[in-house]
Amino acid sequence: MDEWEKQYNIDAKASDQKEKYVKWKFETDNCLGLKMIKMDFKHIISRICWHSKGDYFATMAHNIQTSSQVLIHSLSRSNSTRPFNNSKGIIQAICFHPTKPHFFACTHIKVFQYNLQKQSVVATFQSGAQWISSISCHPGGDNFILGTYDRKIVWFDVDMGSKPYKNLKYHDKAIRNV
């Protein structure tokens, strides 16, 4: 286990329930000699986001309001866990913090920053938008932006509080990805 895995040990409590949410299958392609991982999910997956280190990725199920809507997976451990015990609404967008063991989850109008080690909400951000469509975090981790269906880009500086730093209104149509 490397230092990053120790720092982001988010699946300790779920190791006994390894296949409760996802079934992992390991196969080898005989023609090409490639090793493959196939994952069977209980729900339709609408979004995938990767952590910058490459071992962890998160999946978001489509339009369900349960605590298993968002799952975090570790490739090296072939393990899946749900980071949230209760749901704050239907999650619209997800993103890993690039340097801390934190995770961003967006509902229609709010952004929740979770500490994955402590399993708690660190901060809540009010977007001021009608409907959030996507999120992107700066590689330094101090800023993130939201794309919204009401044609705005909302820029947050995490150090400046829970209100947006800037609202940018330059688009004619909905912003689906930032």
pTM: 0.81
Residue 150 lies in a domain: yes
Residue 84 lies in a domain: yes
CA 156, CA 142: separation in Å to the nearest integer? Answer: 8
Q: What is the mean pLDDT of residues 36-42?
A: 88
In this prediction, residue 11 carries a pLDDT of 42
Average confidence score pLDDT of the chain: 85
Lowest-pLDDT choice from 15-19, 59-63, 94-98: 15-19
pLDDT of 59 higher than 70: yes
The helix, strand and coil proportions of the chain, stated in percent and rounded to the nearest 5, come to 5, 45, 50
Q: What is the mean pLDDT of residues 48-72?
A: 89
Each residue's pLDDT tens digit, 42-56: 888 999 999 988 889
Contact (Cβ atoms closer than 8 angstroms) between residue 129 and residue 109: yes
In this prediction, residue 9 carries a pLDDT of 47
In this prediction, residue 30 carries a pLDDT of 79
In this prediction, residue 19 carries a pLDDT of 60
Each residue's pLDDT tens digit, 124-136: 999 989 999 999 9
Domain extent at residue 120 = 3-168
CA 145, CA 87: separation in Å to the nearest integer? Answer: 23
Residue 28 lies in a domain: yes
Contact (Cβ atoms closer than 8 angstroms) between residue 100 and residue 113: no
Query: Any idea what the CATH number is for the domain that residue 164 is in?
Result: 2.130.10.10
Residue 178 lies in a domain: no
Residue 91 lies in a domain: yes
Tokens of 67: 């605590």
Residue 110 lies in a domain: yes
Number of domains the chain contains: 1
Each residue's pLDDT tens digit, 110-157: 999 999 888 889 999 999 899 999 999 999 999 999 999 999 999 999
